[in-house]
Structure 1
Amino acid sequence: MTHRPLVVLAPDKFKGSLSAPEVARALARGISRRMPGADVRCVPVADGGDGMVDAFAAAGWTRVEVDAPGPTGEPSTAVYAVRGETAVVELAAAVGLVKLPGGRLAPLQASTFGLGVVIAHALDAGARDIVLGLGGSASSDGGAGLLRALGLRLLDRDGVELEVAGDVAAMLGQVIAVDRSGLHPAVSTARFTLACDVDNPLLGPAGAVAVYAPQKGASVRQMVKLEAGLTNWAAVLGTGYAEIGGAGAAGGTGFGVLAVLGAQVRSGIDVVLELLEFTTLVGAATLVVTGEGSLDHQSMHGKAPVGVAAAAKAAGVPVVAAVGRMMLSLGEIRAAGFAACYPLSDLEPDPARSIIAAAELLERIGERIAMNHLPLPRL
């Protein structure tokens, strides 16, 4: 009787190069070439940022496409994944930086309204467990756009409803009250989970604006306006929510969803692994392979590969990483739970060439992993 080693491939995306499913398939080709008898299963993952829907679609969840405005209001489409009453909604796929027309940054004009349109679609379709992947946001509107799309009315001092359009910072500064009576009726019975890998509060030096607004193109002057707007927004919805770790995620989207929708904040990779039933699958594995574009000190704080390594370690299964580049010492790699790390830079030191040839290089890495970590077939 032949013993077939089971290899579980659970990488995140290689940003700017390959999606997580593409990374997994490339590794699978290499492993299967070296050891044709291995049982190789692809379970691509994400930590809450872009690529989350792709990971669930690869696991067999239904992919749903929705017409929804992009971050600056232009007609666009977005996708989410659904199974039963659970919907996985990815902010980046609706109103992320990648959805900005021509890649032009718009720190004061971008909003999360389109994300609210996607959530409403999922609720209308019967979803009652909404998992929001927060990452790659183009806006800093505190989730105001999302909530308005779900029926929340934002009122100024004259009781006039404000629109989340134009200058978002100015709008947030004018809100003095909200009217929740028009919220989508399913909101009261739905459960919202924020899947994110950051613990920033909404305001202050570690908040949404100070840390992330520069990445969205905000000047110092614009950052001052955005911070003032979000400070007023927090006073309207509840300053206590602003201090919760994760409230500053995605330009303060975390805050808005915490304050109005009663969301729970959880580690993105933990949520993904739970929904993919990863623990059950990995229990029978011989080896787990994970990875991402760059394994560095930021990876130690809630990124996908470290979460996968922790789950594999808990199951008593060895885990190795295949990465674009490794920025950690061997001791740090071992401390994070990895038996070994295989960077593409060992094969191709030129970053530009490595990005272009990532799939081919990953196949070669897959062969090395099979040779070094899988047992020879027993008869």
Structure 2
Amino acid sequence: MIGADGSGSLRVLIAPDSFKGSMSAIDVARLVAEGWATVRPDDALLPLPLADGGEGTLDTVAAAVPGARRVAVTVPGPDGRPVNTHWLRLPDGTGVVELAGCSGLTLLDRPRPADAHTRGFGRAIAAALDAGATRLLLALGGSASTDGGAGVLVELGARLLDAAGTPIPPGNRGLGRLQTVDLTGMRPLPPGGAVILTDVANPLLGPDGAAPVFGAQKGLSPSGTVIAEHNLRRLARYLNVDAMAAGAGAAGGTGFGLLAWGAEVAPGGEFLGELAGLPAAVATADVVVTGEGRFDVQSWSGKLPSHVAGLAASAGIPTLLVAGQVSASTSGRFCASEDLSVLAGAPWRAIAHPSRYLRLAGAALARRMAVAGAEPVGLGSPAGDR
């Protein structure tokens, strides 16, 4: 393949998401680049680590915005134990708060699906407001709980009470005792408002809602999922928000709670990609590599790799995929893909040694380009489909 400069070298944009709970987007981009360079050392490699609102969002924004500053804060984690984390202050006064670092599943020693909560995320939002944030970007993803954002609302001044007028316990289980919701003491939105950044469009309730779709990954059993859905319906009766709104089911329903506060939803991958300069970077590339930890059917519904591939397709630029595991068709958008679990021979081996297999994946994708001649493997054909 001939590069845009007429030579045999290529400008390769490497724009992955993080591999959740395993590898940051910064490390994924670096390791894929290292592997690629072993096969095609003359190519210009352009790492651009990205996020879609989940784990790694603060790192992506910090790298993209000069002058961004981390502000330390200690909050109650999803099980109540203290968590030392931070939020990000941007030079224009915007505060960026990431749920995964405050109330995320990786902060637990074991899943606590009925009792995990989002109070820590709410505490960090309050800290940003206390520090004078004029606008908020709220990154949802990686939640440990299915509390409908109740913990966030409480930390922002809401009162959620049982029949005796006592605050309900945190977590989804506590919602089963909810009898009164008082929002009169809630803090106002900052002057510039609050934007919910999420990679999912699921509603709060129903078969595509927070509990049925995401409950299992938080530890909910089938019977527990039914109870969790019932408790979320109870919360929804007390809040004047459309429970079927797109994004309301994000992060165990935290999107719903934030909508009740007055925040607005934005597609995380698109918003953060713009912030990081993704469209301009794609336009100057000869080939784009993107990826995430698990590429599945949900990846086609707003996840970062599909957004990156869409931008590249619009510019007529081939896109390659690397993922920890590929469990959905990649044809139509990706010219080729590399599955770390296949390279490693087993998913557990890829998880145990992600650095090794990310380098191998980068080399394998570069090798495909090296032998493809004037056109990358899979372009216009299903050759890259797994």
Q: TM-score, normalised by structure 1?
A: 0.85
Q: CA deviation at 1:301?
A: 1.8
Which one of 85, 88, 100 corresponds to residue 92 of structure 1?
100
Aligned-partner Cα distance in 2 for 1:92–1:231: 24
1:195 and 2:197 aligned = yes
1:20 and 2:32 aligned = no
Paired residue secondary structure (1:76): strand
Matches within 5 A, 1:282-301: 282-301=282-301
Q: CA deviation at 1:49?
A: 2.1
Paired residue secondary structure (2:235): helix
Q: CA deviation at 1:371?
A: 4.3
Which one of 37, 44, 65 corresponds to residue 39 of structure 1?
44
Aligned-partner Cα distance in 1 for 2:19–2:229: 33
1:369 and 2:365 aligned = yes
Aligned-partner Cα distance in 1 for 2:27–2:190: 39
From the superposition, tell whether residues 320 and 216 of structure 1 become closer, same or farther in structure 2 (CA, over 3 Å): closer
Deviations 1:209-245 (A, max 9, x none): 333334333355654543343223212112x421212
Farther-moved stretch of structure 1 (78-87 vs 296-305): 78-87
Aligned to 1:67: 74
The one-letter code of the counterpart of 1:311 is L
Count residues with an aligned counterpart: 364
Deviations 1:15-68 (A, max 9, x none): 454222111111111233334443322111222222222333343543333211
Aligned-partner Cα distance in 1 for 2:182–2:131: 27
Aligned to 2:376: none
Aligned-partner Cα distance in 2 for 1:94–1:106: 15
From the superposition, tell whether residues 2 and 306 of structure 1 become closer, same or farther in structure 2 (CA, over 3 Å): closer
Farther-moved stretch of structure 1 (52-61 vs 65-74): 52-61
Aligned-partner Cα distance in 1 for 2:360–2:97: 34
Deviations 1:108-151 (A, max 9, x none): 32211110111122223333332222222222221111011112
The one-letter code of the counterpart of 2:15 is A
Aligned to 1:333: 330
Paired residue secondary structure (2:307): helix
Aligned to 1:183: 186
Contact 2:175 2:235 in 1 (8 A): no
Farther-moved stretch of structure 1 (125-134 vs 269-278): 125-134
Paired residue secondary structure (1:289): strand
Whichever structure has more helix as a proportion of its residues is 1
Matches within 5 A, 1:154-173: 154-155=160-161, 160=165, 162=167, 164-165=169-170, 168-171=172-175, 173=177
Aligned-partner Cα distance in 2 for 1:326–1:177: 43
From the superposition, tell whether residues 2 and 82 of structure 1 become closer, same or farther in structure 2 (CA, over 3 Å): farther
Q: CA deviation at 1:258?
A: 0.7
Aligned-partner Cα distance in 2 for 1:69–1:16: 20
The one-letter code of the counterpart of 1:97 is L
Identity %: 41
Aligned to 1:342: 338
Farther-moved stretch of structure 1 (114-123 vs 41-50): 41-50
The one-letter code of the counterpart of 1:352 is W
The one-letter code of the counterpart of 1:263 is A
Deviations 1:83-118 (A, max 9, x none): 233333221211111112x22x22232211110111
Aligned-partner Cα distance in 1 for 2:104–2:173: 18
After superposing on structure 2, the runs of 4+ consecutive aligned residues of structure 1 that deviate more than 4 Å are 1-4, 155-158, 219-225
Contact 2:168 2:177 in 1 (8 A): no
Paired residue secondary structure (1:288): strand
The one-letter code of the counterpart of 2:156 is L
Taking only aligned residues, the RMSD between alpha carbons, in angstroms, comes to 2.8
Which one of 74, 77, 82 corresponds to residue 84 of structure 2?
77
Aligned-partner Cα distance in 1 for 2:218–2:283: 41
Aligned to 2:381: none
Contact 2:198 2:250 in 1 (8 A): yes
Aligned to 1:270: 270
Aligned to 1:234: 236
Contact 2:162 2:168 in 1 (8 A): no
Contact 1:170 1:225 in 2 (8 A): no
Aligned-partner Cα distance in 1 for 2:330–2:206: 33
Farther-moved stretch of structure 1 (224-233 vs 317-326): 224-233
The one-letter code of the counterpart of 1:310 is G
Aligned-partner Cα distance in 2 for 1:168–1:342: 39
Farther-moved stretch of structure 1 (116-125 vs 318-327): 318-327
The one-letter code of the counterpart of 1:153 is R
Contact 1:11 1:44 in 2 (8 A): yes
Aligned-partner Cα distance in 1 for 2:296–2:173: 34
Q: CA deviation at 1:157?
A: 5.7
